[in-house]
Chains A and B, each alone.
Chain A
Amino acid sequence: MTGRRPVDIGVAVLARVAIWLIILASLLPIYWMVTTSFKNPDAALQIPPNVIGFSPTLDNYVQLLGGATTARGFGRLLLNSIIVAVASTGLALALGLPAAYALARVRFRGKRQLAMWILSTTMFPPIVAVIPVFLIAGNAGFIDTYPVLIVPYTAFNLPLVIWMLRSAIRQIPAEIEESALVDGSSRLGILRTMVLPLAAPGIAAAAVLSVFLSWNEFLFALTLTRSAARTAPVGINEFTTMFGTEWGNLSAGATLVVAPILVLALLLGRRLVSGLTFGAVK
């Protein structure tokens, strides 16, 4: 716009310093978690903090995943989390894709209202859903099984998946499908052969977000599982009582729980934010 005055340069420098201080401060808890997982118990609790100059050890991970001290295998908890997150994501995509296609392409009355209703179900407080699910699943003998988590997680992820896929499908030119429709192809056939490949990037983003939500869920997993289907976020919370303040093991577990999601978040970048706003913010 105009030539840079010294004041502008001063403001720019201050802004840079401020934002990087905020970023570094906000990364500190993550740094603590990862480094503590590679420290021996004494170094973990050292004050003043041993921020960089510690000799790293894998002991915490060895103990956690195979050592004698683990009463409950942490590997099993991670496996349960993976099974539940992947299954609920697969189901949410299988149910969400046809629904999103209908909302994006098929003309029918009340479509807008239906889309808004689907969106509004995300506002439903989980604590209100968990009590009936607990009672009914308890009577039916489903407590501590995978389905008792997979079905609710599918429902939680569906609105996000449907809205993200709807906007992904809308970006595909409709003419391609219309000509196929005129040629006599069925809606499901078009969905499979044309929409699916073209919407693949959108589907991938929706899948990642769905995994993200299922992986982090706590209330249902805490209430509806005991041991066989226990997921990692609940299991790691029980660690504190099991080991007292054994922060080495705990932070190793925490790092293992967080690592896959952290990698996905770095890959998705700001599409993570866009997805969590249901595509309202690009």
Chain B
Amino acid sequence: MPDVARLIGPQDRRARSHPAVLLLAPAVAVLLLMTVAPAIYLLWSSLFRFNLLASEAGVFVGLGNYVDILGSTDFVRHFGITLLFVVTSVSLELAIGLVVAVLLARKGPDLRIAAGLLILPMAITPVVAALVWRALLNPNYGWIDYYLQTLGLIEEPVAWLSAPVTAWIALLALDAWQWMPFVALILLAGLQGLPTEPLEAAAVDGAGRLSMFRFITLPMMRPFIVIAVLLRTVDAFKTFGTVQVLTNGGPGDATEIVNLSIYRVALQNFQVGTAAAMGILFLVVVTIVIQQLLRVMARNTDVLED
């Protein structure tokens, strides 16, 4: 006989939370294994100076690695480059994405096809995208230089990846090409879900297109803008493969984001203690930035609430 009383009695709360633990434990264990555990291991390693190639055990140096890193102009500059990359790429994607979303938010079967095609750059494996762009940017046979010349935008071929400014343009163009569609489609979903009454009321009152967009549409879009910015920021901080393949941090160290420099120090120079300290500092900065964004999001949207 089913014991209905058992399902609602106070005893049951324990009986029912028991399966919850069992159902959740394996997933939580794997997540801990790949986040908290590495962070603790790294924190511990950051207190030692040791080289993987040298056979002797690490020497305890306390906060020595941190002092060295923060005193090194290289690391501080690479941090600045990383933040510049995150801010410029996300801003660029937001600006273009907003324009594209507005263009797509009209009615028409061709625009449904357009939105479907817009997804495709997102689906390109990032490293492959960087390889393709390197070919397209080649000054001798690249299509980009040829067509920019045809359009009269440049007079002679540009060796994009050989100068800092043009290398940055190339890197931002690649990132925006791949991820602007993601931002645009988030914003498009927002635009299509907006109530039409406020706009109709404003139109009756004789408001112009631009002021309606600025004072009615944009404020209502804020939750979607915040989500797009948050998700792109999280991803921009993870960028590795595309930069490694496109510029490898160059020319010089003009595009050397922290992910690349940690990779070099840890896995090419094998200075594990130094790399660990860099990783911990990076983790702290990323956490602070994303916490702030989450706070902004909590104020603006309830989508991630229950």
Contact = CB atoms under 8 A, between A and B. Distances in A.
Interface of A: 1-2, 12, 15-16, 18-20, 22-23, 26-30, 32-33, 36, 45-49, 95-96, 98-99, 101-103, 106-109, 112, 114-116, 118-119, 121-129, 131-136, 151-152, 154-156, 158-159, 162, 181-184, 186-188, 212, 215-216, 218-219, 222-223, 232-234, 236-237, 240, 247, 250-251, 254, 257-258, 261-262, 264-266, 269-270, 272-274, 276-278, 280-282
B154 interface: no
Contacts of B306: 112, 115
A273 B124 contact: no
A184 B6 CA distance: 11
19 contacts: A20-B114, A29-B121, A95-B27, A99-B27, A107-B16, A109-B17, A124-B34, A128-B283, A132-B38, A132-B42, A155-B33, A155-B34, A155-B35, A218-B241, A232-B125, A236-B127, A261-B123, A273-B182, A282-B193
Contacts of B125: 215-216, 232-233, 257-258, 261
B38 to A, nearest CB: 4
B28 interface: yes
B161 interface: no
A118 B31 contact: yes
B103 A15 contact: yes
Main secondary structure of the interface of B (DSSP, over half): helix
Contacts of B116: 266, 269-270
B141 A102 contact: no
Interface string B17-47: 1011011101110110111011101100100
Given A102-B19, A131-B262, A254-B132, 10 more contacts: A22-B103, A29-B121, A101-B23, A106-B19, A106-B23, A108-B16, A124-B39, A128-B282, A155-B31, A222-B241
**Interchain residue pairs A-B with the least CB separation, the first 5:** A218-B241, A155-B34, A265-B123, A102-B23, A99-B27
Interface stretch (B59-67, B71-79, B230-238): B230-238
A236 B186 CA distance: 31
A29 B143 CA distance: 9
Contacts of A119: 304
A46 B135 CA distance: 12
B169 interface: no
B203 to A, nearest CB: 6
A5 B159 CA distance: 48
A1 B186 CA distance: 26
A26 B181 contact: yes
B131 to A, nearest CB: 6
Nearest to A20: B114
A26 B66 CA distance: 43
A30 B124 contact: yes
A74 B153 CA distance: 40
Contact of B177 (A26, A159, A272, A277): A26
Nearest to B224: A281
Given A15-B103, A265-B122, A102 B20 contact: yes
Interface string B229-270: 001001001101100110000000000001100110011000
Contacts of A223: 263, 267
B143 A98 contact: no
B283 A270 contact: no
Contacts of B87: none
Contacts of B115: 270
B172 interface: no
Nearest to B242: A218
B57 interface: no
Nearest to A11: B209
Contact of A98 (B26, B103, B237, B290): B26
A265 B193 CA distance: 23
A90 B135 CA distance: 36
Interface string B127-147: 111011101100011010010
Contacts of B140: 45, 47
Contact of B124 (A116, A121, A258): A258
Contacts of B182: 273, 276
Interface string B278-296: 0110110011001000000
Contacts of A257: 125, 128
A230 B228 CA distance: 33
A182 B4 contact: yes
